[in-house]
Amino acid sequence: MTRAYEGDGLLTNSGEFNGMENRMAIGAISEKLKELDMGEPTVNYKLRDWLISRQRYWGCPIPIIYCDNCGIVPVPFEDLPVKLPRDVNFSGKGNPLETSQSFTNIKCPKCGKDAKRETDTMDTFVDSSWYYFRYCDPKNDDLPYNKEKVNYWGNVDQYIGGIEHAILHLLYARFWTKATKDLGLHSHDEPFQRLLTQGMINKSHPYCPECEVFALKSEMENEECTRCGSKYILKSVKMSKSLGNTVDPNRIMEKYGADAARFFILFGASPDSGLEWSEEGIDFAYKFLKSVYSLYFETPIIIEKEKSIREILIEYLLNKTIKDVTNALKNLEIRDAVNNLVQFYNELNKYKKNGVEESFFNKCKEKFAMMLHPIVPHITEEIWEIIGQKPYLSNSKWPEYNEKVLIKQNEYRWNLLQDTLDDINKIRNVIKEDDISEIKIILPKKWKYGYYKKLMDLIENTKDQGRIMKELMNSDETFKKYGKFINQSLGKILKNIGKYPRFSLEREEEFEFFNQIKSIIENKFKQTVTIEKEENSKNKKASQSLPGRPTIVLS
């Protein structure tokens, strides 16, 4: 036998209980013991006094003295705190403090006769159950803490810890806080306002599907299970020293650096979710940070003298990213923050390749470094110094977004560009033709913009197609001429309402915008782009267009 079986199953070699399911047998065996007057069921309380009395060196000494003459005597106030001795023998047996004669042997503070000091210690959890109070008043020599200061600063806004903190430490901290409140030492009833329980880091490890166990480190000499001979499969499990599936941080630091490891962990999963460790993931993080470095120190090929629609769009995205990252970090949604930064980097890199207005590009790079700094502090601090910024980036003010840039018109323009690029890509993938020479974008007739705006107003109050159709027909005589188209398009929109923007530009504004972004589309696809109006187009598909959803024809 290499290990005891710990799973559920049927009892064997158990007399009258043979064949019973183990969980059912617990009750039956308990009743049998009660009948035989050999025992009875009892409650096993998980909250015990083990935090207070431990035969360990590392912990808070209990300030009690035992005197044969006076009994149990507290250590006098002026002799506090009791400090741990250095002359101890760590033999691995018994209580190390009992080996220190200077610590255990003491005079009774009451009668002066020989006495013994308490050698049990309190677990370090006792300290951490109230340290957040002491942080509010760390230099108080007379009291644990000042009541007014703790009431001012407390309670803790955000508590972050692992699963053992969420279960054990939180329990102790709440007990301590409630007890000290009852003693009148502060006014709040709970120690923490918010709790974040960090997820575990997992890694694939050999697993036997027959025995339903993971291989121990000592059992991994070959690819077969030492119990049943079945071949191991790889399965994700929490990193563990006993399993041997841990990762050496020193090797990671030497090969990739601390920032790459930080980026991978923060980008790989939300703080409260489990993270699957992979070499591919950290390799991606390393390459991404190298490309970020290149963004700053490889000179753009094209320098533009004046700003264009490209700067307007990137400035919108910059301010949106600042807002989104700021909110994500405040809510501890760190993965979302990193994801937004990666998306902004991708767009900023495209902007660099197609020509930049220098002062605007430099502003974007500075703001990007600021936002990236909490994630990868070392590389961003180095970048900050090399580009001539002072003082330290870590001491700089967090960037602020401009609400005047985050208007509906700019949001609509940005999304319209992205949707158009995505739609062209989808069409290219469907038709699979290499000899495409022209991309034609056909904008809808003017009346459709009035129809679309009215429709979006109505949708705010109802999603009933019949009711909306009636309201539309009664609102404008023009709409009655196009009743068939309106009814068909209305059905499509209501089925996929999330894909349609609630806001739209006027027809001439949208036409002008497409002419402005024409060069962006041409640069991406290396093809000629033509912008048309529906009434001037001979293409049969032109009539399908809607505001924000132009007809796209590749030929």
pLDDT at residue 1 above 70? no
- Which amino acid is present at 326? T
Q: What pairs with residue 116 in β-bridges?
A: 66, 105
pLDDT at residue 101 above 80? yes
Residue bearing tokens 């309380």? 45
pLDDT at residue 164 above 80? no
Alpha helix stretches (DSSP H) within 140-255: 147-153, 163-164, 170-182, 249-255
Please name the CATH architecture into which domain 279-395 falls: Orthogonal Bundle (1.10)
pLDDT at residue 76 above 70? yes
| Domain chopping of the chain, boundaries | 1-42, 49-124, 129-197, 279-395, 418-554
Q: Report the range of poorest mean pLDDT among 210-219, 305-314, 381-390, 544-553.
A: 210-219
Report residue 41's pLDDT band, with 50, 70 and 90 as the boundaries. Answer: confident
Q: Measured between alpha carbons, how far is residue 374 from residues 47, 259, 282, 346, 521 in Å?
A: 39, 10, 18, 19, 35
Average pLDDT, integer, range 475-490: 93
Asked if 247 contacts 367 with a C-beta cutoff of 8 angstroms, the reply is: no
Strands 438-443 and 528-533 turn out to be parallel
pLDDT at residue 278 above 60? yes
Where are any strands of DSSP class E within 114-271?
Answer: 114-117, 121-122, 156-161, 192-197, 201-208, 213-214, 233-238
What is the average pLDDT score of the chain?
Answer: 92
Integer Cα distance of 379 and 256 in angstroms: 12
Strands 551-554 and 528-533 turn out to be unpaired
- Which amino acid is present at 173? A
Question: Would you tell me how many other CB atoms lie within 10 Å of the CB of residue 126?
Answer: 18
